[in-house]
Amino acid sequence: MPETLSRADTGRLERSCDAVRVGTGAPGIERVEARFARTAFSLHRHDTYALGITTSGVQQFRYRGARRICLPGQLHLLHPDELHDGGPATPDGFAYRIAYVEPAVVQAALGGRSLPFAEPVRDACPATAGLVALLADIDEPLDEVAAAAAATAVADALEAAAGRAPSSDPIDTTAVAAVREHLAAHPTEETRAAELERIAGMDRWSVARQFRRAFGTSPDRYRRMRRLAVAREAIAAGGQLAAVAAGTGFADQSHMTRHFTRAYGLTPGRWAALTASARRPQREIAEARRSAPPNAAHRPRPM
């Protein structure tokens, strides 16, 4: 009898794969990166959604009575309790990143709508951009605000893949503007999702969905960009990188470096060096003024 592969069974992944790495997660969300060469999974089931993207090679799997092929850049969307296997389709092997998401998380983000059912392989598209982003950096911490955004991204991607029309409900512009103002005023704080719910007067999944529709980004990413702006100013003022990272809400210096480089195209260290060279002439002028004899500026010039 096929056994169920639950989120807690990542030890089995490690024994079956050439390499496996577990990323950060949140309640009901787990992210994993794995690479296969020759080995494959036998038939099994998940008690979660298994939503992944093939990052290299070609993978094949049996699912709902048919053999499926997933190419690099394509998504595979496996529903809970669906029997499937998996392995490389060519001698070159394959790699993927995947998120295991509990159905209750998806259901909460759907706001009472029924769980969607989508075909197992599909190309990435604008409607699945949030899911692709969730899989792009499995080491990115997921606090409450980020987890709510991730849940809505997953739910919306599944609905789009199932052919459901996106929400046409009007945006509460006053509510989401208040959320944006709060995040802009407190960029270095770990704002709780409950606080955003209180400010907006709606649940956290509606906050995430309406915020993205209104401003083209998630509350978490908007806060991160404001946080990076604070970090950039602190570094330009001469702050030490580790201290700046800790003081602006990043998990550590490497976390800040990863996002700083993505946002600005150069590392914090490079930014520190550039701004230090710009500050040097100003320091030299200030030091010269401090070292000048008293009333030097008022001495008469020699004739």
pLDDT tens track for 174-185: 999 999 999 999
C-alpha distances in angstroms, 105 versus 14, 153, 164? Answer: 26, 11, 19
Q: Give me the sheet containing 3-5, strands edge to edge.
A: 3-5, 41-46, 84-88, 59-63, 66-70
pLDDT attached to residue 6: 40
pLDDT attached to residue 284: 53
pLDDT for residue 288 is more than 70 = no
Residue 34 φ/ψ, nearest 5 degrees: -145, 155
For residues 222-236, average pLDDT = 95
pLDDT attached to residue 219: 95
**Can you give the pTM of this predicted structure?**
0.80
CATH placement of domain 223-291: 1.10.10
Q: What is the pLDDT of the chain when averaged over all its residues?
A: 87
What b/e sequence results for 30-41 when a residue is b if at least 16 CB atoms lie within 10 Å of its CB, and e otherwise? bbbbbbbeeeeb
pLDDT attached to residue 37: 84
pLDDT for residue 300 is more than 60 = no
| Choice among 6-10, 237-241, 291-295 with the minimum mean pLDDT | 6-10
Q: Is 154 helix (H, G, I), strand (E, B) or coil?
A: helix
| Choice among 38-47, 48-57, 121-130 with the minimum mean pLDDT | 38-47
pLDDT for residue 92 is more than 50 = yes
pLDDT attached to residue 294: 59
**Topology of domain 3-164, CATH:** Jelly Rolls (2.60.120)
pLDDT attached to residue 277: 81
C-alpha distances in angstroms, 32 versus 9, 26, 141, 182, 185? Answer: 12, 13, 14, 33, 34
User: First CA to last CA across the chain, in angstroms?
Assistant: 106
Contacts 24+ apart (CB under 8 A), 247-252: 247/188, 248/187, 248/188, 249/187, 249/188, 249/189, 249/190, 251/141
Q: How many helices (DSSP H) and strands (DSSP E) are in the chain?
A: 11, 11
pLDDT for residue 303 is more than 50 = no
- Rounded CA gap, 180 and 71, in Å? 38
Quick check: 30 and 69 in contact, CB under 8 A? no
Quick check: 227 and 188 in contact, CB under 8 A? yes
For residues 270-297, average pLDDT = 67
